[in-house]
Amino acid sequence: MTTVLDGKKTADALMTDLKNTVTTLKAQGVTPALAVILVGDDPASAIYVRNKHRRAESLGIRSLQIQLPKTTTQAELLGRIADLNADSAIDGILVQLPLPAGIDEQAVIQSISPEKDVDGFHPINVGRLWTNLPGVVASTPYGIMALLAYYQIDVSGMNAVIVGRSNIVGRPMAALLLNHDATVTMTHSRTKALAEKTRAADLLVVATGRPEMITADMVKPGAIVIDVGMDRNAAGKLVGDVDYAGVAPVAGAITPVPGGVGPMTIASLMIQTVAIAKRRVHEQQ
């Protein structure tokens, strides 16, 4: 029987414990606070921000939604980030990507204080991850590791194959898996004989943005399949990067779309915001 790795159920369970932690922090005089900046009016980004805000409020985390017009200049955006960096009551800062044309994404990411960079994209946090030092980690890979841990899946010694090399998922995922003693193979759009690589995977993580590109013949029987994709197929149906109907009977465990990795991404964002707030408690003592 294939195990469905239920991200919604897992996130809800983790958030129950986290809510208790938030309550304890408030009793100690610290309210965890997350500031999310949205520039422009991208509909998908607006949905992501709204979902983060709802989850934060449900936990008792102070949630600041900062909506800026599409005409905002890079200098204006950097000014708002500087203000948040200087605000001791703000624990986490997140700038929703993508940004409008004309704004340098890397300049924005690097302007966020590494200590408040709750997305884990700042080069200092990326460096800490790759050198296996404590720090903030990109939310989606962090969430995937939390999901595997919830289902008591130990990746140590596994052959892990990642399809996709983005800075948001693929690269930090590789670092996390290496730090947990997996043997990691990175693949991408230029990889030759991709199916040969994926069929060797005990753990397959797919983050390409290509609807249902991973088919049953590309998956090792019994493999754990993590689908990070959120796409629309030709019929307009919401699907992942994995052909779920075909792959699920082959896999030993698989994440659904929706309800798999997505809820874990937001959960991990909340967990790391609260972790930063905990440090604030220690600083005040």
Average pLDDT of the residues in 177-200: 97
**pLDDT value at 208 more than 90:** yes
Q: Is 30-114's fold the same as 139-262's?
A: yes
| pLDDT confidence bin for 236, thresholds 50/70/90 | confident
Task: Give the pLDDT of residue 206.
Answer: 98
**pLDDT value at 235 more than 90:** no
Domain ranges of the chain: 30-114, 139-262
pTM surpassing 0.85? yes
Q: Annotated binding residues, as ranges?
A: 164-166
Q: Annotated binding residues for NADP(+), as ranges?
A: 164-166
Look up the CATH superfamily of 30-114. Answer: Leucine Dehydrogenase, chain A, domain 1 (3.40.50.10860)
Q: What are the pLDDT digits (tens) for 83-99? A: 999 999 999 999 999 99
| pLDDT confidence bin for 132, thresholds 50/70/90 | very high
**pLDDT value at 285 more than 80:** no
Average pLDDT of the residues in 260-268: 96
Q: Which residues are catalytic?
A: 52, 96, 119
In this prediction, what percent of the chain has a pLDDT beyond 90? 91
110-119 burial code (b ≥16 CB/10 A, e <16): ebbebbbbbb
Average pLDDT of the residues in 132-160: 97
How many CB atoms are located within 10 Å of the residue 56 CB? 24
Task: Give the pLDDT of residue 283.
Answer: 74
Domain 139-262: CATH architecture, name and number where available: 3-Layer(aba) Sandwich (3.40)
Average pLDDT of the residues in 182-207: 97
In this prediction, what percent of the chain has a pLDDT beyond 70? 99
